[in-house]
Every structure is written in C-alpha cells, then in structure tokens.
Structure 1
Amino acid sequence: MTRRALILVEGNTHGTGLQYVQAARRLGLHPITLSADPAQYDYLAAEGIEPIRVDTNNLDAVIGECSRLRATYDIAGITSAREAVYATVGKLCRHFDLPGPNPGSVERCCDKFTQRQLLAEAGVPIPAYRLALDATEVESAAAEIGLPVIVKPAVGDGSYGVRLCRDVDELAEHTTYLLGGKHIWRSSPRILVEQFAQGPYYCAEIMGNEVIGIAAADFGPLPHFLFRETTFPAPLSDDDHKRIADVSLSCLRALGLGWGPTCIEFRWTKRGPVVIEVNPRLAGGGHPQLVQLAYGVDPITEHIKLATGDEWELRRRHSNTAAARCLNPDRDGILDWIDGDNRAAAIPGVAEVKFYIEPKMPIVRKGDYRDTIGHVIAASPSLARTEAILQRAVDLIDWSITPFPTFGEQEQSAAPSPPRTSPGGLR
C-alpha cells in the first residue's frame, strides 16, 4: 500500500514547523519538507527527517519535485507554516487537484497595500495609509498622515522592517535603513506609511469562516513591535468579542479568504476595533499551543485535516486561560549563560519553557521576532492564576550577556575585566 504523505513547503524556526511535522505523524502521514535552505530548520534532523532541497520560489521546480514524489507516495496534501510561500502552496494544490487556499487571494492579502485598498473599499475600519517608493514620498506621506507613523515594507511578516517613527529624525533614519541596502526585500522596494493606531492589541484566530477565539497581547519598548506577552482568550466582554469577530468575517469577505487559517490583528481605538493586518496563515509565537491549552483545539492538526480532505472540527473540549511570555534581551553581545528552565518547567501549570539559543552565541537585536531568545507558556482555569504561574516561572529564569566591545575598548590592552550580567526574564 502506498504511503500517504504530507508535503510541507518550507518550515518555521520558532515552533510551528516542528508542530506541523509532529501533527502529521500523529495523523498517520509521512511529512516531507521541501526547502531552499533546509539547514535553517534544526528540528528536521532531530526528527530524523531528510528534507528535499529545491528552490521554493520556482513554482515549476516545486511542481517537478512533487510530481517525482508521486511515483513513491500518495500525496494526501500540501501545505506550509510560512506565509511567504503560502501562495505557492495554493498554486500547487490547484495543480495537483488538492484542497488548498486561493492563491490569488493569498497574494493580494500578502501585499499590505493591496490588502489596505480592498479593506477600505469594503468599509472595514483601518488606519490612514499611503504607499511610498522613495524617501521623498515617505516624508510626504508622513506629513499628510501626521506623526507618529508606522513605516514598514509593503510585503513581509514577523514585524520585519516595521518601526514606529515619532519624529522626522526617526523617519529619516528608518527610511535610510529600508532603502539603503540593509533591509532584504522580497520584491521591489515599496514602503507603507500608516497612522499609528493606539490602543490594546488583539488577534482573532480563524479557521475557515469560524473564529476560534481572540488573543490579547502587549509589546516591549517602542519604537519596535516585539511581543512581550500573549494571553488566550482575551478578557473581553461578549459585546466586544462580537465586534471583533464581525469585523474579522468582513475582512475574509473583502479579501476572498475563508479557506484554512487566518489571523487578524487589531488595535482597539476610540473608533473601536481597527484592523492592523490580515495574515493568511496561523499566528506564530506559540499561538497554536495557547489555543490548544485554552480550548483543547489544535489548529495545526485541524489545518492538516482540512488540507488532506479529512473531516475537521473546532469543538471546544475545555475552557482555560493560557499565556506565553517572550524572553527578550535588553542588549547586544555574547550570551555567557542562560538557566532556570528546569526550575521554571517544574512549576505546576507551566506547559513549556524553551530557549532558542545556546551559550556563546552572539545576540544582535534587529527589532523583530528574531530578537526573542525563548518563551514560557502556562495555563490554568483562571486568568489571575495563569498570570501568577507565568510570573513565578519567568522570575526563575536568568541569563548573562557580555556586551560587544566598543572601539575604545578594543584599543585597550588592559587586563580582561569580568563580564557584565543582564537579568533574564522580563519583570
């Protein structure tokens, strides 16, 4: 009997890639990862998976590889944990007559300017925005909207290249960064300048046309948007929950989505819920695990069932509150040590403690998701208890970072001084 396989186009470095592999195996599927750079996914070797190297930006090459695999496997489905290749996944599914997302809808959604246009035409509440192609247009757009503004690439995810610009100096600095060769563009440089929508942050987790639930989160220090803590479900009134859910479904209609996972980010402003971004994928940063701990629903497993044409369902099996705290360093340098994970993990209610880095690794903060060096996840029947468990666990984690030497320090030939330490968890 031919073995049923799930093709995973690329993976993910912070959790969900591994979770897709493990969920596929639990469903009796053989996971096969196609990647342009398999070495970036260390979990593949740990799981005993031999990835296939192929240029995943070349649709014909990926079709050819999948066609070759069909001689050996029954390809039950094709999917991905990564937004950048999700439109390619949709095209592959159509080519091989498999369930999958609408590639045109995904492409329009991934272009944030096009997304903004479609949402505005549908009357969905969004921040004021402008598209800019050069520094002069960025400056003009910011003047029209009024500082402070969010400046970000029109295509991208994970807060990559996103910054709050509060004055003309920050605006010029970030524009130079984006257009001066430091930022790696997926396509021709196009910058979105947006009004800074201020208020509490929420994220709607959706599968198909059904809102699974809504998370709340906060961030580290501005001007960057690095997640600090995420709580699921968000402590919302029934009316506020319904308002976010209703706007979420309006987004799906406006963008032609409604198949598979979507996460929609909001800020609750004086106008009510304002859409910051619609992402045609599962949220990262431990969100799927939070959903599972809170409701007993595994979004990754249900996504795979959907992608393979099997029956899927989102029935809640219990009701808890789950929360994740990101471990974010406060300086650049070399990590001397990090510990406390075993003590933190032993606390009742802690579901996971994970470090993404090891001692002696360099830390160079970039102002996006790549800065996070680990996380702690906890769950319990109540919000107050979960927050207490999480804080107790984080307080047990610590690390030391030796800052990189400055030019002056490099010139000195004095005896070595002891390293400076940095307290670990966010207090």
Structure 2
Amino acid sequence: MNEYIIYIGTNQSGSPRDGIEAGKKLGYSTILFTNRRKFIRERELFQDVDEMYEVDLRHEEEIRREISTLQQEGKKIACIISFLDSYVYVAARLSNEFCGTDISLEPIADCMDKTVLRTKLTGKEYSSDFIKMDPPFSKDGVKTFSYPVVLKSPVSNGSKDVLLIRNQDELTAGIKKLKRKKPPSLLVEEYLEGPQYLIEVVIKERKPVITVVVKQQIDYHKRFIVTGYSVSPVYHHPVLVRKVGEIVNDLGFVNGSCHLEMRLVKNKWKLIEVNPRISGGAMNKMIEEAYGLSIVEETLRVYLSKPHHSERKWEKHIYTYYMTVNKTGKLLKVIGKNMAEQQEGIIEVYIKPKNGKTLRPPTSMGHRYGYVMASGESVQESERRAKDASKDIQFYLESI
C-alpha cells in the first residue's frame, strides 16, 4: 500500500524543498499543505509534490480537518513534517498524534522561544549571561552589563530582530524599534566575541547520529547577516562535538533534529541559539556536496523509524558565498551567472529574485539574493573560488 508524507509549508528552493525530494527518494508519495497561492498557481514547478492542497496554516483545526479527510479517503499517512520555523512544532505534534511517531515535542517548544531556552539552560558552562525584559521594557537591569550587548526578540528568526547595541542611546532606539512588533518580552544577552559555527544535528534515541559542523562568516549591516558558510572536516573539533551532545541532552531531545549556533570565546564553547529544524537556504545541498549526507533525509528517517545512513561517503571542502546589494532598487537584470558557473570548482550559482523585484540592503537573512557554491582542495581554495566567481555577477537596479 502506498504511504504518504504530509509537508506543512515549503519554500520554492532550499532545505524545505530538499525535504520533499528526500521523501520521494525514500519511496513515499508526497502531500503539501500550503497557504501560498503562488505555489498553487505555479503547480507545474512542484513535480516532486504528488498532491497539493491550499490550507490556512494559521489555524490548526483546518490542518486537522484536511489530515482527517485524507485518512478517511484511505490514505496511510506515515508522518507529518515541516522544515519551516513557523510549523515545525505543530507538524511534529500532529505527526505524533495521527501517525504514532515519537518526536520530542518539549525541546522543540523550548527552542521556539529564546527566553525559555536561555532560562532552561541557565547556569550551564556553555550558557551566556542574559536578562529578560518584560513590558514596558525598563532598561534598569541592563546596567549590570558592559556594552556591547545583543538585543533580540525571543520569537524572531533569520536575524530580523537581533540588534548589536553599543551604548545607552542605541539600547533606547533598539527597544523602541522592537516594541513595534509587540513582542511578549525582549532578551538582552552579553555580546560574545569569537568565530561562529553552525552545527546540524540529527538525534535518534537520545544519541546524535549525525553531527555536521559548518563555519559561518558573519557581516554586520544593521543586523547580523551570514554571508559565508564553510563545510569541511577540519572544523569537526571533538570538544565541540561533545559539547553539542551535552546541549541536546540538556534540552531533552530523544528523537528529532536541530541546528545550534556556537562561538569559541576565549577557548570555551558558548551557545548563541538553537533552532529545532535544519538551517534554511543551501545548507542541505552544501552538506551533501561535502559528505554525501542529506540532513533532511536523515530527519525523515527519524520520523519514519528507518535505519540511518550516517557514514560520510566522501569528504570535501565546500564554501557557499551569499550575495547582497548595498542600495535599494527594482531589479532590472542580473548578468554574469553563466560566466561564474564556468569558473573552476563551481558547483552551483543560484539567483533568487526575478526581474522587477525590489531589492534592498540586508536587514534579515531573507535579503540575501543568491549564492555561489564552490569546492576546492582546501578550505581557503573553496572560499576563494566562490568569492571570485561571485564578482562576475552583477545586479542592475533601478533606483526607487
């Protein structure tokens, strides 16, 4: 009998879309619930989706009705999953309920609120100092910190609501800016100086079965924007890998997946944040290129109780450079993509926006407009190739 995987939400490309392709590869039929009418209109672009339904994903009752209808039609649903921040928790909960999967819900919920996460891990060696600010957001508690500090909304993602604060005036302005979105609280954290790493983890029966370490290059343009990712076995520090195992255990993960961001500060590993899903964008693709491993496929194997393929098929140095623009304007054309693709070691050149789209300097990760992925004989060579090829690409903008 044919079995189905239901995906709650997706993107046109990147890790969430890779997750659908992985389901097909594992031999399942795929069903997508989406609230994006554009996807319904452009149905032909989703050849990896067997059935697509327009569902108001803001209302859980509507999602439940659709699942029940599919089951009443005789469809056997193997699992329900989402690789998007907004729906990862509800998908896991519904999967446990409707499909009998055994995904750890409490750690996912804790990761969805950065204040809850920080509070849960208070006192751990890898935790940093923080203050929770409740409305009306008095600055009094911040006096115990020395600047710079980081001010963030506890429920944001993609760097949109994460601000570097260097003094009292910037704190006042930052609180005013973030208050507009009516957050339940604000979080002030000590600013940690040091190289930053992203760690993808897949956990099965309390054991991290996959751990992949990725070094990040971060630029600060009003927000913390990651413009470079380097995947290489040279970053697989045993102390870091052990620390990651300790953190996922402290969080209570039995079955699931997450990615952590950590910094090496004065020779100690410090936790920046945890997100209960694979990182978006090209993350799955770059790890596949580096090691022959698919994080989205291994996550599905946890949901489906299938054996893991955790051995690396090969080891390569991969660098992905993300492109941004330095002024606001309407996109007229992009040139140089073909030239960039022909450079040595280039794996993929991806341009996200279509002509006519308004581009702007980055204030969130969503304002990265494409990437160049390259391999090399060393970390340095893969980085140089990606960055050199990106210089061939030009975004022509009309001022608005």
SS in 2 for 1:172: helix
What is the Cα-based RMSD across aligned positions, in Å? 2.2
| Conserved 8 A contact 2:14-2:284 | no
| Conserved 8 A contact 1:204-1:244 | no
Structure 2 equivalent of residue 28 of structure 1: 27
Amino acid across the alignment from 2:111: C
Alpha-carbon shift at residue 44 of structure 1 (Å): 5.2
Residue 243 of structure 1 pairs with residue 239 of structure 2: yes
* 5+ residue gaps, structure 2: none
Residue 220 of structure 1 pairs with residue 216 of structure 2: no
Alpha-carbon shift at residue 211 of structure 1 (Å): 4.4
User: Against the structure 1 CA distance between its residues 165 and 13, is the aligned structure 2 distance closer, same or farther, given a 3 Å change threshold?
Assistant: farther
How far apart are the structure 2 equivalents of 1:11 and 1:358?
19
Alpha-carbon shift at residue 40 of structure 1 (Å): 6.4
Deviations 1:182-226 (A, max 9, x none): x3x6xx532111111111001111111234221101112344111
| Conserved 8 A contact 1:215-1:234 | no
User: Against the structure 1 CA distance between its residues 318 and 260, is the aligned structure 2 distance closer, same or farther, given a 3 Å change threshold?
Assistant: same
| Conserved 8 A contact 1:130-1:192 | yes
Alpha-carbon shift at residue 168 of structure 1 (Å): 2.3
Structure 1 equivalent of residue 16 of structure 2: 17
Deviations 1:278-326 (A, max 9, x none): 1111122322111111111111122222222322221101010111100
SS in 2 for 1:178: helix
How far apart are the structure 1 equivalents of 2:282 and 2:102?
23
Structure 2 equivalent of residue 110 of structure 1: 112
Structure 2 equivalent of residue 198 of structure 1: 193
Structure 1 equivalent of residue 173 of structure 2: 173
| Structure 1 residue ranges (4+ consecutive) displaced by more than 4 angstroms after TM superposition | 40-45
Counterparts of 1:405-424 in structure 2, within 5 Å, are: none
How far apart are the structure 2 equivalents of 1:190 and 1:323?
37
* 5+ residue gaps, structure 1: 405-427
Q: TM-score, normalised by structure 1?
A: 0.86
Structure 2 equivalent of residue 145 of structure 1: 145
Structure 2 equivalent of residue 91 of structure 1: 93
Alpha-carbon shift at residue 135 of structure 1 (Å): 5.2
SS in 2 for 1:330: coil
Deviations 1:378-426 (A, max 9, x none): 123422331232123112111222332xxxxxxxxxxxxxxxxxxxxxx
User: Against the structure 1 CA distance between its residues 146 and 384, is the aligned structure 2 distance closer, same or farther, given a 3 Å change threshold?
Assistant: closer
Structure 1 equivalent of residue 383 of structure 2: 387
Alpha-carbon shift at residue 263 of structure 1 (Å): 0.8
Q: Which of residues 335, 354, 358 is equivalent to 2:331?
A: 335
| Conserved 8 A contact 1:124-1:251 | no
SS in 2 for 1:281: coil
Q: Which has the higher strand share?
A: 2
Residue 79 of structure 1 pairs with residue 75 of structure 2: no
Structure 2 equivalent of residue 281 of structure 1: 277
User: Against the structure 1 CA distance between its residues 380 and 290, is the aligned structure 2 distance closer, same or farther, given a 3 Å change threshold?
Assistant: same
Structure 2 equivalent of residue 410 of structure 1: none
How far apart are the structure 1 equivalents of 2:40 and 2:195?
34
How far apart are the structure 2 equivalents of 1:43 and 1:218?
35
Deviations 1:27-70 (A, max 9, x none): 22221111233436987541144532223243332222111112
How far apart are the structure 2 equivalents of 1:126 and 1:43?
45
Alpha-carbon shift at residue 357 of structure 1 (Å): 0.5
SS in 2 for 1:225: strand
Counterparts of 1:263-278 in structure 2, within 5 Å, are: 263-270=259-266, 272-278=268-274
Aligned length: 393
How far apart are the structure 1 equivalents of 2:378 and 2:295?
22
Residue 396 of structure 1 pairs with residue 392 of structure 2: yes
Identity of aligned residues (%): 21
